[in-house]
Structure 1
Amino acid sequence: MTSRPLYIYLQRPDNGEWVTVGRYTLDLATNAGKFLYAPSYIESGFAWSIDPVNLPLIPNHDFVAPRYSGLHDALRDASPDAWGKLLLQKEHQLPSNTHESKYLVLASNADRWGALAVGKTKLPSVANTAFPKLPQLDALAQELLAIAERRPPVDAKLRRRLVGTPSIGGARAKATIRDGDDYWLVKPFLPTDTADIPLLEHVALQWGTLAGMNFAKTVLHRLSGEQSVVRVLRFDRHGERRFMTISGASLLGTEYPGASSSEVARWSYPRLAEELRRIGAPVEDWKELFDRMVFNAVVGNDDDHPRNHAAIYQPSEHRWRLSPAFDVVPNSDETPKRLTLQVSVGTFAISRAAFLADAVRFGFKTSQEAASHLDALLVRIESTFGQVASQLPTSLRSMLLDRLARNVKVLSGLL
C-alpha cells in the first residue's frame, strides 16, 4: 500500500549541477509520507539540507511528514498553491480532495519555486521550458484573465504553456515571463478586484524599497484598455540557476492554508526571527523582519500570512538569508487593526507597546534601542510616501495618506 517512490532532485548551489537528494514515499492507507536522504547524497559530503528546520541532514532516517496529509514542508513549498491547483484540476479533471502529492507530481519541474525538482527515476531528469518573453506580456495577461474568468483560450498555444507550468504559489492569476536572465511574475488586474491591486502592490514594494528595506523589484504596465499589470522580479532564479528557498510556513512548522488553531498560535514575527537565527541568517535579517512588520502595520497589509515570508540560500555567502519582501499589498477595503502574524507573544494587535514587547528577539540589545529604531523607521516610511503617491489615483492616495497618518501616531504611542 505504499506509493511508487518519487525522487527529489536539487540544483547544487555551488556549480548548478543536478543531484538526487532523496526519496519520498506515501503510505496510501495511512497518508504517512516519508522522506529519506539518498545515501549517495550523504556520502558525498554535501552540506545542503533542503529544509534546515524540518529535514536536517541525518543519514538513514525516515522523516515522517507531520502536515499536509503526508507531504513534507519543503515539498509543499515546491508544489502549486491555489492558482496552480486550479489549473491542474481543470486540466486533469481532479476532485477537490486530491492529495497534495498528486499536485507535486503533476506540476512541471520547469517553473517550481526554489531549486527542487521531482521525478520517478533515480537519476535527475529536469526538462527546461521556454518561458514567454517580455514582448508577449499583453497576450500573457489576457490569457491569464481568460483562465480566471473560465473563458476559452485567447491563444491556444499560450494556454497550453500556462497549464503546463502551474507551480507558482498564491491564489491570484499569475505566470512567469522571462527577460534576458531575469524571471518576472506577471499579475494582472482581475474583474473581481475592488481596487487596482497590481498598482497597490507595485506602489507598496517601491515604497518599502525607498524606506530602506529589501523589497522585490517591480514594474507596472498599462496594457490595452488601460488594464494594469504588475511584474515582480523572482528572487529564486537567474539565467539557468535556481536558488534554494524555504517558506515562512515551513520555518514556523505550520500548515498554510488549513492550519489548526494550535498551529495558528505559532504564527509569530518574533518566532520567525528566531528561526532565521537558527538557520544561520545574520542579525540584520532579524531586524529587517521587524521593519517589515512595522511597514505592514503602517500600510495596512494584513495578508502577511506565513507563506508570504521566505528565506533563500545565498551561495556566495554559504548561508540562508531572509528573502526580498513580496506580496505586500495594502488592504483596500478597510484599515486593519491587527496583523496575521503575532507581533509579540499572544498579540496580533497593532500598537507601540506590542511591537516593542518582544523586540530583543529581533536582535535589539535593549527595548530603548528598539524604540529608537522604530521611531527612525516611521520617519523614513512617512517621508518616502510622497515619492510614490503621484502614481495613485486620488481615492487610493487619500486612503493611504489617512492610514499612514493614523498608524504612525499609533506606533509612536500618540493614539
Structure 2
Amino acid sequence: MTTSKPLFVYLQRPDNGEWVTVGRYRFDETLRTGLFRYAPSYAEAGLAWSIDPVNLPFRIDHDWGAPRYRGLHDALRDACPDAWGRALLRRQHHLPDEAADWRFLEASSNAERWGALAVGRTPKASVAHIASPRLPQLAVLAQELVALSQHAPPVDAKLRQRLVATPSMGGARPKATIRDGHDYWLVKPYLPSDLANIPLLEHVAQTWGRLAGLNCAHTIYHPIGSGLGAVRVRRFDRQGERRLMTLSGATLLQTEYPGQTAAAQWSYPRLAEELRMIGAPDQDRIELFGRMVFNAVCGNDDDHPRNHAVVFQPQENRWRLSPAFDVVPNPDADLLPVLSMQVSIGRTDICRDAVLADAVRFGFDNREAASAFLDNLLHKIEHSFVTAAHELTEALRELMAVRMRRNLDRLRA
C-alpha cells in the first residue's frame, strides 16, 4: 500500500529557469521506504540533469529506494527544513514529534526551500512566487524571529503569519529570508538565551575566512539596539529569481545528520573524493582542505556534513563546492581540540600529523605540497585575525586569540 497520492517533484531548469516536473515520490507502506522515479515527460523532453548524482543518477523506468531518513531520499531531505523549520511546521500542522520525514517535505512551503527543487500534488509543475521581506524590514524581522522562538506574542502579526506559513531552510536557530535588491539573504538574530553574540561570531568568522583567502559566504552584521543584533548571510543557492540545485555534504557522503551512529562516515577526505567523483575541479578539494584547517584553528566544532554543500553552476554545467557557511566558533573556553568531521581516517583531533595524513585525497601531489600549503594558510589565518576580530568584545576577542595560538601550535608542531 502506498500513499494515496504521489508527491510530484519539480525542478527549476539550470539552463533557462523554467519549472519542469522532474519526477515523483511516493511512500510504500509495505516496504516502509520511499520510492523516487524520474518522470517520463522529463526524459522525453531530452532533459537529463540528475537531482543527486550520487544517490539518484538519471535513469528512466526505475524506482530508486531511500535507505535513510525513514524513507525520504537525501536530495528531498535537503529540500526540507531542519530543527527550526520543523518546530514551526509541527505547530502549524499539528504534526507529532515522530512524524515521518516526508511529511515535512509535504507540509513545507516551496517559497523558502534550499536549492532548486519544489514539490506539489499536481503532475504539472506549479510553483507560486511569494515575495520575501525587504531589507528595511530587517530589524522587525529579527525581533519577530526572537518572539517566535520564545512563543511570545507577535511583534508584527502579518509578518508572524508569513514566517509560520513559510518556514525557512536548515539549522536549529531561528532564521528567515530577506531580499536586498537582486540578492537573497538569510537573517539570523541574537537570542536572549545566547551565552555569546552568536550572529556576530558568525560574521567575524566568515570575514576572517575570506581575509585568509577562503571562499566564505558574504555576511553583514546589523546592530539592532539594546545590545541585540542580527547577521545576514547571502544565499548561494539563489541568483535573483533563479534557484540553483544544491546538495548537502551529508547527501554526498551518503550519511545522515543528525545521527551519531552515522558519524563514522563524516569525513573530510571522503567528501573530497566525492567532489572529484561528481566532476568538481581540483581547486574545490584544496579549498575544502583549507576550510578544514580554518575550522580547526577558529574552533568551529559544528562542522558536521550538513554544514557543507555543493551547488550546480549553470555557467560551468557542473557541480562546485559551495561557499563556506555556518562557520561559527564555539564560545566555550574549555572547547576540546577536535572537529565533528574526520580530518583523516579515524581521526578528528587537531594536530599536524592528523591533518596531513590523508592530504593526497584532497588533490595535493604529495604530503610535502600539502605541508607547504598548510604553512602558508596558517600564516594568512594568523595575520588576518586582528582585522576580522575588531568587532568582538575584548573578552571574546582574547578567548579567540588564545584558542588560535594553541591550535596554530598544534598544526605547526
TM class, shorter-length: over 0.9
Q: Distance in 2 between matches of 1:77 and 1:336?
A: 29
- Aligned partners of 1:78 and 1:167 also within 8 Å: no
1:29 Cα deviation after fit: 4.2
Structure 2 match to 1:47: 48
Q: What amino acid is the match of 2:189?
A: P
- Give the number of equivalent residue pairs: 411
Give the equivalent residue in structure 2 for 1:58: 59
Aligned to 2:291: 292
Separation in 2 of the partners of 1:75 and 1:367?
A: 38
Secondary structure at the aligned position of 1:69 is classed as coil
Cα distance, 1:42 vs. partner? Answer: 1.9
Deviation readout 1:62-101 (Å, 9 max, x if unpaired): 0000000100000000011000001111112211011111
AA aligned to 1:218 is: T
Pairwise mapping of residues 185-334 of structure 1 onto structure 2 (< 5 A)?
Answer: 185-259=186-260, 261=261, 263-333=262-332, 334=334
In the aligned structure 2, how far is the partner of 1:168 from the partner of 1:32?
Answer: 24
- 2:371 maps to 371
> Residue 335 of structure 1 aligns with which residue?
335
Q: 1:346 aligns to what? A: 346
Q: Which runs of 5+ in 2 are unaligned?
A: none
Q: Larger deviation: 293-302 or 42-51? A: 42-51
Q: Residue type matched to 1:327 in 2?
A: D
| Bigger shift: residues 317-326 or 158-167 | 158-167
- How far is 1:255 from its partner? 0.8
In 1, the alpha carbon distance for the partners of 2:155 and 2:244 equals: 33
Q: Determine the C-alpha separation between the residues in 2 that align with 1:55 and 1:336.
A: 38
Scaled by the length of structure 2, the TM-score of the pair is 0.98
Determine the C-alpha separation between the residues in 1 that align with 2:297 and 2:225: 33
Q: Are the aligned partners of 2:144 and 2:156 in contact in 1 as well (CA < 8 Å)?
A: yes
User: Shift of residue 47 of structure 1?
Assistant: 3.0
2:84 aligns with 83
Deviation for aligned residue 1:15: 0.3
CA RMSD of aligned residues (A): 0.9
Unaligned runs of 5+ in 1: none
CA distance in 1, matches of 2:205, 2:268: 20
Q: What aligned pairs does 1:95-114 form with structure 2 within 5 A after superposition? A: 95-114=96-115
* Partner-residue secondary structure (3-state), 2:194: coil
| Cα shift readout 1:298-344 (whole Å, capped 9, x = no counterpart) | 00000000100000000000100000000000010133311000000
Aligned-pair identity (%): 63
TM-score, normalised via structure 1 length: 0.98
1:137-174 superposed Cα distances (whole Å, 9 cap, x missing partner): 11101100001111121111000110111141100000
- Indicate the larger mover: 163-172 or 26-35: 26-35
Residues in 1 aligned to 2:180 and 2:30: alpha-carbon distance in whole angstroms:
46
The answer on whether the counterparts of 1:42 and 1:57 sit within 8 Å (CA) in structure 2 is no
Amino acid at match of 1:317: E
Hey, what does 1:148 align to over in structure 2? Answer: 149
2:8 match: 7
Partner of residue 179, structure 1: 180
**How do 1:382-397 residues align onto structure 2 when only pairs under 5 Å count?**
382-397=382-397
Structure 2 residue matching 1:213: 3-state secondary structure = coil
**1:405 matched to which residue of 2?**
405
Describe the SS at the equivalent of 1:89: helix
For residues 111-152 of structure 1, the C-alpha deviation after alignment (integer angstroms, 9 at most, x for no partner) is: 100000000010001000011110001110110000111112
- Describe the SS at the equivalent of 2:226: helix
- Give the Cα separation in 1 of the matches to 2:100 and 2:335: 37
CA distance in 2, matches of 1:250, 1:241: 22
